[in-house]
Amino acid sequence: MKKYPILEKINTPDDVKCLSRDDLPALAAEARSFLIDNVLKTGGHLASNLGTVELTVALHYVFSCPADHFIFDVGHQAYTHKLLTGRRKMFSTLRSRGGLSGFTKRSESVYDCFGAGHSSTSVSAASGIAEADRLSGNQAHTVVVLGDGSFTGGMVHEALNNLDVSLPVIIVLNENEMSISKNIGRFAKNIAKIRSSRKYYRVKRGTAYFISSIPLVGRHLFNFIKKIKQKFKDRMYGSNYFEDMGLYYLGPCDGNDTESLVNLFEEAKQYGRACLVHVKTKKGCGLPEAENNPEKFHSIRPEGSPEFENFGSRAGKTLCALAEEDKKICAVTAAMTDGTGLRGFSEKYPERFFDVGIAEEHALTFCAGLAAGGMKPFFAVYSSFLQRGVDNIIHDIAIQGLPVRILVDRGGISPADGATHHGIFDVAILSEIPGMEIYTPSCFSSLERAITLASHSETPVAVRYSNSPDLEEVLSGFSDGPVRSDFSGTRGNVIVTYGRAVAVALEAEKEIPDCGTVLLEKLTPYRQTAQLISRLVTPETVLVFLEEGVKNGGASMILDSMLENRSRIVAIDGVFDTDANTGDVFSDFNIGKNDIIIAFRELNGN
């Protein structure tokens, strides 16, 4: 007997549309079971996807993707969408090199009309796609699936303010954490139940048609009744933000009930103009452990993968210890309390902890304000998310010389998440900003030292680290200081690197004659770092700079004034990502052990 008898017959969205309404709950149940069975093995975003199963099934039943466009904000809740669009057999490769992406990705499927990995971009993209459809005469709907958490990102509100409400854009607001709606109580719940029924909308349309058809006064009477109804509703419930923005509001309804969802989506489709469908789902729905602890099951590791304390966790502990002595230290996050290791700080010092929501730009300028007010703010943020706040770093922090401390987590390649999460640009960006100090600790002890030094700095500081375990044992033979080496005197061949790439450098060093490694614990000012390196080399030394970041504008610029004809840069060059799968992610990006060895052979002419 087949475990997924309905799901296994679904290869395209057309197969979903061939089902009866009565079959949809069973399809949703099979899809949920499939996700639990597979994602617990491969790892991935589980809780958010379990909550949006029925929602996605209903969307594919009512709309015609890819003729109609589906945009999933962030993209980490699109697993059911992938299941229903011919990618079921690829799920064993989820979040693996060259396998199924954990997010939506245009190059992966025609059904993914817009790629994502970061939050709050969907409404802007939908507005652009819908405008493009109108200009080209394409009669299509653009559907956005948007979690309530994304509304903490200002870009959503900018897009809503700019959205032409005559466009057929349908925003599905998936409320699964914080309550956006003001309506509470039994009466409001009964009204919501009525408004999600098919009969309600049939009667509503029929009444509107009847009144509007009355000769001479029909249209005026309809508009008058509509205004009276709106005033009564505002008095009872308060003004609705979305209706104030010109959107037709539908809901709220149970987002895990296919019948209610299909009814609302059909009404939204028939309306033909911009509207918002408000649904309420349960994160982790169908898996009790995920329902009770959705944060733990937000993103899970592959089955059997080892757990380790990473740099982010240690950074949070270090900050906690410093904050006990220094009452001016504050911690700031952009909706990443657990991801950046700040859970302990938030519990121990709640009055000095600030989660500003998905708003990196605001977080940085908020930190600038804290610093201007005499506090010592630390903003913990993933490298790829920090990209959103470059102007704020320059305009609000650096130009004013405010001592904001940025803890840049997830620096380097992110194999599971892919291009949207690779932290390969932060060094190139930050190192070009005058006055910015950049620390690049490679072990926990140097991380603690860097954060302590940053707490006393009077200028902007970035402490940049990867999502990796402690490398203390690997570095046992290195000297101390901002520029460390594993040799005394000089060497004919020297690898210069920073961060976790030092482990790759040491592997290559074993196979290169007369070779040593220089480890940079601090990058800027570049001129000062170059002077320290110059003490370890001679004019005859051959240098290879290994960097887990982009080549152009990266830290390898340190070598600009050094040994120009006897140096080589091994860095990520000209790509966002690669589908290569050698088993070693550094080799996939041409910055592996063999790439270092080849560079030395070419420089030495052999």
We report the CATH number of the domain holding residue 523 as 3.40.50.920
Please give the pLDDT value at position 295: 83
Structure token pair of residue 183: 């309506």
CB atoms within 10 A of CB 307: 7
How confident is the model over 187-201, as a mean pLDDT? Answer: 48
Domain range enclosing 49:
7-182+238-292
Please give the pLDDT value at position 179: 32
Rounded to 5°, the CA angle 271-276-278 comes to: 120
| CA distance readout (Å), 492 to 487, 489, 502 | 12, 11, 19
Residue 449, in any domain of the structure: yes
Residue 484 pLDDT > 70:
yes
Cα 220 from Cα 201, distance rounded (Å): 21
pLDDT tens profile 434-463: 999 999 999 999 999 999 999 999 999 999
The total of structural domains in the chain comes to 3
Reported confidence tier of residue 191, pLDDT bands at 50, 70, 90: very low
If asked whether residues 460 and 488 sit together in one domain, one would say no
Percent of the chain surpassing pLDDT 90: 76
Reported confidence tier of residue 563, pLDDT bands at 50, 70, 90: low
If asked whether residues 339 and 256 sit together in one domain, one would say no
Cα 324 from Cα 334, distance rounded (Å): 23
State the virtual CA torsion across 226, 232, 237, 242 in degrees, nearest 10.
Answer: 20
Cα 282 from Cα 32, distance rounded (Å): 13
Cα 123 from Cα 158, distance rounded (Å): 9
Reported confidence tier of residue 137, pLDDT bands at 50, 70, 90: very high
CATH code for the domain in which residue 355 is found: 3.40.50.970
Cα 86 from Cα 16, distance rounded (Å): 12
Residues 6+ apart with CB under 8 A from 511: 593, 597
Cα 541 from Cα 489, distance rounded (Å): 12
If asked whether residues 319 and 277 sit together in one domain, one would say no
Reported confidence tier of residue 192, pLDDT bands at 50, 70, 90: very low
pLDDT tens profile 258-296: 999 999 999 999 999 999 999 999 999 999 999 998 888
Residue 585, in any domain of the structure: yes
Return left, alpha or beta for 359; rule: phi > 0 is left, psi -120 to 50 is alpha, else beta: beta
How confident is the model over 144-163, as a mean pLDDT? Answer: 92
Least confident range from 63-67, 107-111, 216-220, 470-474: namely 216-220
Residue 318 pLDDT > 90:
yes
Residue 226, in any domain of the structure: no
Cα 345 from Cα 362, distance rounded (Å): 21
If asked whether residues 411 and 545 sit together in one domain, one would say no
Please give the pLDDT value at position 410: 97
Cα 436 from Cα 439, distance rounded (Å): 10
Residue 510, in any domain of the structure: yes
If asked whether residues 137 and 278 sit together in one domain, one would say yes
Residue 190 pLDDT > 60:
no
Residue 204 pLDDT > 80:
no
Residue 180 pLDDT > 50:
no
SS3 200: helix
Residue 44 pLDDT > 70:
yes
566: annotated active-site residue: no
If asked whether residues 497 and 447 sit together in one domain, one would say no
How confident is the model over 61-90, as a mean pLDDT? Answer: 97
pLDDT tens profile 371-430: 999 999 999 999 999 999 999 999 999 999 999 999 999 999 999 999 999 999 999 999
**Residues in a beta bridge with 79:** none
Residue 207, in any domain of the structure: no
Please give the pLDDT value at position 572: 94
**Taking a C-beta distance cutoff of 8 angstroms, is the pair 113, 69 a contact?**
yes
Please give the pLDDT value at position 185: 40
Please give the pLDDT value at position 222: 55
pLDDT tens profile 334-384: 999 999 999 999 999 999 999 999 999 999 999 999 999 999 999 999 999
Please give the pLDDT value at position 289: 92
Which one has a higher pLDDT value, 560 or 147? Answer: 147
Helix (H) or strand (E) holding 329: strand 329-333
List the catalytic residue out of 267, 360, 437, 448.
360
**Taking a C-beta distance cutoff of 8 angstroms, is the pair 397, 460 a contact?**
yes
If asked whether residues 328 and 438 sit together in one domain, one would say yes
Residues 6+ apart with CB under 8 A from 378: 319, 329, 330, 331, 332, 405, 406, 407, 451, 454, 455
If asked whether residues 275 and 318 sit together in one domain, one would say no
If asked whether residues 284 and 331 sit together in one domain, one would say no
- Residue in this structure with the two tokens 């409404």, named with its chain if needed: 123
pLDDT tens profile 525-539: 998 999 999 999 888
**Taking a C-beta distance cutoff of 8 angstroms, is the pair 350, 324 a contact?**
no
If asked whether residues 319 and 404 sit together in one domain, one would say yes
How confident is the model over 44-72, as a mean pLDDT? Answer: 97
Cα 215 from Cα 579, distance rounded (Å): 66
Reported confidence tier of residue 517, pLDDT bands at 50, 70, 90: very high
Residue 103 pLDDT > 70:
yes
Q: pTM to 2 decimals?
A: 0.87
List the catalytic residue out of 283, 352, 376, 500.
283
Residues 6+ apart with CB under 8 A from 444: 311, 314, 470, 472
**Taking a C-beta distance cutoff of 8 angstroms, is the pair 342, 331 a contact?**
yes
If asked whether residues 444 and 497 sit together in one domain, one would say no
Reported confidence tier of residue 166, pLDDT bands at 50, 70, 90: very high
How confident is the model over 512-534, as a mean pLDDT? Answer: 94
Residue 196, in any domain of the structure: no
If asked whether residues 170 and 124 sit together in one domain, one would say yes
User: If we measure between CA atoms, which residue out of 418, 302, 414, 306 comes closest to residue 38?
Assistant: 302
283: annotated active-site residue: yes
List the catalytic residue out of 352, 388, 405, 464.
388
Helix (H) or strand (E) holding 597: helix 593-603
The type of residue at 605 is G
602: annotated active-site residue: no
How confident is the model over 528-552, as a mean pLDDT? Answer: 92
Residue 87, in any domain of the structure: yes
| CA distance readout (Å), 61 to 94, 170, 278, 442 | 25, 15, 18, 51
Please give the pLDDT value at position 167: 97
Residue 474, in any domain of the structure: no
Residue 186 pLDDT > 50:
no
Residues 6+ apart with CB under 8 A from 332: 353, 354, 355, 356, 363, 366, 367, 370, 377, 378, 379, 380
Q: Is 200 exposed, middle or buried (0-12, 13-18, 19+ CB in 10 A)?
A: middle
**Taking a C-beta distance cutoff of 8 angstroms, is the pair 82, 100 a contact?**
yes
Reported confidence tier of residue 227, pLDDT bands at 50, 70, 90: low
CB atoms within 10 A of CB 317: 16
CB atoms within 10 A of CB 461: 25
Average pLDDT, the chain: 90
